Amino acid sequence: MENAGGLGRLSGKSAVVTGAAKGIGRATAELFAREGARLVVNDVDEAGLESLRGELAGAGAEVVAVVGDVSVVEDARRIVGAAVEGFGGLDVLVANAGVIPLNNIVDATPEDWDHVMAVDGRGMFLTCKFAVEAMLKNAEPGGSIVCLSSISGLAGQKDQSTYGPAKFVASGITKHLAVEWADRGIRVNAVAPGTITTEAVAALPEEYKAPMKEAHPIGRLGEPSEVASAILFLASDEASFITGAILPVDGGYLAQ
């Protein structure tokens, strides 16, 4: 794909982006393509994923779309396997797929807990597991994993009784895998976005969004492209001495 303003920071690298049909995942896939990555994009949203695949392929990117649920073992294995089969290995995983329920612990049901932990927790575990296995088989073992945590994965918030703990899983797996695989050349980092203007956030009640704007010292919500830029940095060789980091992309929220 023509760089179209990119610097080729992922030129020749193969990357998997989960949850890529919308929001941060889509912005990340678009940016990775501009930076020269060969891409496997994944989502459960087949129509949205096909729209993205068509957009990227039309611009000249090497891209494979895999519809699948990251919480299902065979789907997660198939998503990572598509990079190995299509591009000869895996260099970058962006473990982005997730759901964002809002509920307090009184209103939340055990089924709510199981669902968010399946997608945001188990799904991240499975995609990281199969990515590490693939990266160890690269001609030169190594790679970069970027997990999607959240300000809710580093600090408490109201109405986050299921989502927040699932994002603490993301923060935790980032640190443990970073230490576990550093000596094999695999870096594992995370971004912790504040409230970002994704489709999911746009659908939230205004009484939730208005106070969140004020809660970010910068005075606005973030854009998916701003998170994608941070993901690109951590995924690229520019971050070659960074592992185990959780980078807030939050307009100063956690600095308070």
Task: Output the DSSP codes for 146-209.
Answer: EEE--GGGTS--TTBTTHHHHHHHHHHHHHHHHHHHGGGTEEEEEEEE-SB--HHHHTS-HHHH
Q: DSSP code of 24?
A: H
**From 163, 215, 216, 221, active-site residue:** 163
Q: Which of 197, 192, 227 is nearest to 209 (CA)?
A: 197
> Residue 148: beta bridge partners?
191
Span 134-191, pLDDT tens digits? 999 998 999 999 999 999 999 999 989 999 999 999 999 999 999 999 999 999 999 9
Report how far residue 89's alpha carbon sits from residue 92's, in angstroms, rounded to the nearest whole number. Answer: 10
CATH topology of domain 14-251: Rossmann fold (3.40.50)
- Residue 253: active-site member: no
- Predicted local confidence at residue 2, as pLDDT: 45
Q: Which of 137, 237, 231 is nearest to 184 (CA)?
A: 137
- Predicted local confidence at residue 210, as pLDDT: 84
- Predicted local confidence at residue 202, as pLDDT: 84
Q: Would you give per-residue pLDDT tens digits along the chain (256 residues)?
A: 544 567 899 999 999 999 999 999 999 999 999 999 999 999 999 999 999 999 999 999 999 999 999 999 999 999 999 999 999 999 999 999 999 888 999 999 999 999 999 999 999 999 999 999 999 999 899 999 999 999 999 999 998 999 999 999 999 999 999 999 999 999 999 999 999 999 888 887 888 788 888 899 999 999 999 999 999 999 999 999 999 999 999 999 999 9
